[in-house]
Structure 1
Amino acid sequence: MTKAVFPGSFDPLTNGHLDIINRASRLFDHLVVVVGYNNQKKSWIDVNKRVDLIQRSVDRLTNVSVLSTTGLIVDLMEQIDAQVIIRGVRNTNDFDAEKSLANFNRQLGSDIDTVLIPTTTNFESLSSTRVRELYHFKKSVKNYVPQPVFDFINEKRGLDEK
């Protein structure tokens, strides 16, 4: 069984992330979405809530699970017997950064491979940072996040937007 991990902060999960999850889930027997937690950074959404929102967004995908970690992804991969890291790339800048990170992760765990999945064209400019910016300026994020995330953001904002 080939197990892959898709690590990220997912703060919040976007439709671009969901697209990568959907596509990666067709390539591997099991995909684990891993929410990274960095206690030196201030998160917009609590890590446990992010895990919950992702689980609700992928509940129809029977070979996808979600968990969080505070450690190195390569250590977690060893614990759960995963072989592949999934990364989405939007542009050449992402590609260069992800290639460097893939090489570093391979040095840490020689059995670890990284698969880069190009983002679908309509998600190339989408990022969690842009979603947070839209929220800050009181703009709708409906077209950019899965429904559970959208509902949570509206609750956070105190709106009842459909």
Structure 2
Amino acid sequence: MKVLYPGSFDPLTLGHLDLIERSVRLFGGVVVAVLQNPGKTPSFPLDQRLGQIRLATAHLRGVEVSSFDGLTVEFARRCDAMVILRGLRALSDFEFELQIAHTNHSLAPEVETLFMATSAQHSFLSSSVVKEVARFGGNVRHMVPAGVADDLARLFNRTTPSA
């Protein structure tokens, strides 16, 4: 069975990567799909985010990296994914994610949403927090894959922090 893991991934964090690795073990295949959201201005262009994800998941079999615009459930149908994976870091995520899950179910009842709790060591991570730390010169190597840390250092004109 294939699962769809959609998001903006701006940037990919180790929390995202943890969910990808765990979903591959559970489902055998995962489509990591970057949403092209015209309402947001990402820090990294789409091609760079796709490259970051491909590099970070190169060690995994069964990961497909793609992008889409429009409704997530329509993309799920196009890629034959019957499950949409959503990560939960805290209770505050649940209310929003549940509303989206109910909306998706009303649009595509055959597509299920699965909530997966983020591992405890990554529960504080969000792309916004990572960018804020990187913007002010903090070390983000324990928050993101190495390639993403390097990209963040370049984005904010910082020297690449050592491991």
Aligned to 1:31: 30
1:128 is aligned with what amino acid? S
Pair 8,43 (structure 1): closer, same or farther in 2 beyond 3 Å: same
Question: 2:94, 2:129 → 1: CA distance?
Answer: 20
Question: 2:78, 2:121 → 1: CA distance?
Answer: 36
Aligned to 2:152: 153
Give, in angstroms, the shift of residue 158 of structure 1.
Answer: 4.5
Question: 1:42, 1:20 → 2: CA distance?
Answer: 25
Aligned to 1:141: 140
Question: 1:65, 1:34 → 2: CA distance?
Answer: 8
Report the count of equivalent residues.
Answer: 161
Q: Which moved more, 1:147-156 or 1:48-57?
A: 147-156
2:55 is the counterpart of 1:19: no
Aligned to 2:127: 128
Could you list the structure 1 runs, at least 4 aligned residues long, displaced by more than 4 angstroms after superposition.
Answer: none
Question: 2:129, 2:138 → 1: CA distance?
Answer: 11
Cα RMSD, aligned residues only? 1.2
Contact 2:23-2:29 at 8 Å conserved across structures: no
Aligned to 1:57: 56
Q: Which moved more, 1:93-102 or 1:29-38?
A: 93-102
Structure 1 residues 40-61: Cα deviation after superposition (integer angstroms, max 9, x where no partner):
2111011110011000000111
2:87 is the counterpart of 1:88: yes
Task: Please give the TM-score of this superposition, normalised by the length of structure 1.
Answer: 0.94
Aligned to 1:42: 41
Question: 1:134, 1:15 → 2: CA distance?
Answer: 15
2:22 is aligned with what amino acid? R
Task: Please give the TM-score of this superposition, normalised by the length of structure 2.
Answer: 0.94
Q: Which runs of 5+ in 1 are unaligned?
A: none
**How many percent identity over aligned positions?**
36
SS of aligned partner of 1:5 = strand
Aligned to 1:68: 67
2:139 is aligned with what amino acid? S
Structure 1 residues 28-77: Cα deviation after superposition (integer angstroms, max 9, x where no partner):
13100011111221110111100110000001111011111111111111
Structure 1 residues 67-103: Cα deviation after superposition (integer angstroms, max 9, x where no partner):
1111111111111111000011011111222122111
Q: Which runs of 5+ in 2 are unaligned?
A: none
